[in-house]
Amino acid sequence: MSTNILNHPLIDHKLSLLRGVGTSTKDFRELTSEISTMVVYEALHDAPTVSTMVKTPMGRTKGSLVDSDNFVFVPVLRAGLGMTDGVLQIMPNAKFGHIGMERNENTLEPRNYYFKMPRHLEARTVCVLDPMLATGGSASAAITELKKAGATKIKLLVILAAPEGIERVEEDHPDIEIYTAAVDEYVNNAGYIVPGLGDAGDRIYGTA
């Protein structure tokens, strides 16, 4: 189990714009997508490749290709859907599964309300997409459902993580890797990451 924090001035730049209370819905969506592309890029650093020969205008060279069939991307509804365009930017043939998790606003307990996956999860790397890892309840429950369905290699890709969420996922699922654009300070009593960016789903879909 490891937690990888992306450390890059461009990530910090885009994250600063994303967090801003005055950022428009349009900009929030675009920035979520752009940051997601960078998180996916980092998470696929060990993607299996197949060798190929390439004929260039000047000669021939060995090349290597990433087979997108090796991966399944699983946005956690709703906010995780905001990360799918970012995946498609670099893997246009990617396969997707969908899992619906909703936190009860009072207890913060997650409820699984939807689950639909491509076949052969056991043979693929499953990348869970959710911009926010707060208490970790939703991510941990989503990963449990994926394991029940046969997934064995799972990565959790987020934009903002709180220390509480990282600790919870590390404890419940010591076998998975987390990739996050940043780690914030703490989760407040209402379940929000501080300083965070507010409610990601509401900001992506304009439902605040």
Residue 12 is among the residues annotated as catalytic for this protein = no
176: helix, coil or strand? coil
CB neighbour burial string for 157-178, b if at least 16 within 10 angstroms, e if fewer: bbbbbbbbbbebbbeebeebbb
The listed partner (ligand PRP, ligand URA, none) that binds 196, CB under 5 to 8 Å by sort, is ligand URA
Element housing 53 (H / E): strand 49-56
Q: Tell me: does residue 199 bind ligand URA (CB under 6 A).
A: yes
Which is the catalytic residue, given 107, 144, 152, 207?
Answer: 107
- When CB distances are held under 5 to 8 angstroms depending on the partner's kind, the choice from ligand URA, ligand PRP, none that residue 41 binds is none
Q: What b/e sequence results for 77-90 when a residue is b if at least 16 CB atoms lie within 10 Å of its CB, and e otherwise?
A: bbbbbbbbebbbee
Residue 21 · residue 45 · CB < 8 Å: no
Determine whether 199 is an active site residue.
Answer: yes
Q: Is 130 a catalytic residue?
A: no
75 binds ligand URA (CB under 6 A): no
Cβ atoms of 158 and 150 within 8 Å: the answer is no
Window 144 to 173, contacts with ligand URA (CB under 6 A): none
Instruction: Tell me which of 75, 82, 110, 196 binds ligand URA, using CB under 6 A.
Output: 196
Residues lying near ligand PRP in the complex (CB under 6 A)? 76, 78-79, 101-103, 108, 110, 130, 132-139, 165, 191, 199-201
Asked about 107 being catalytic, the answer comes back as yes
**Residue numbers annotated as active site:** 103, 107, 199, 202
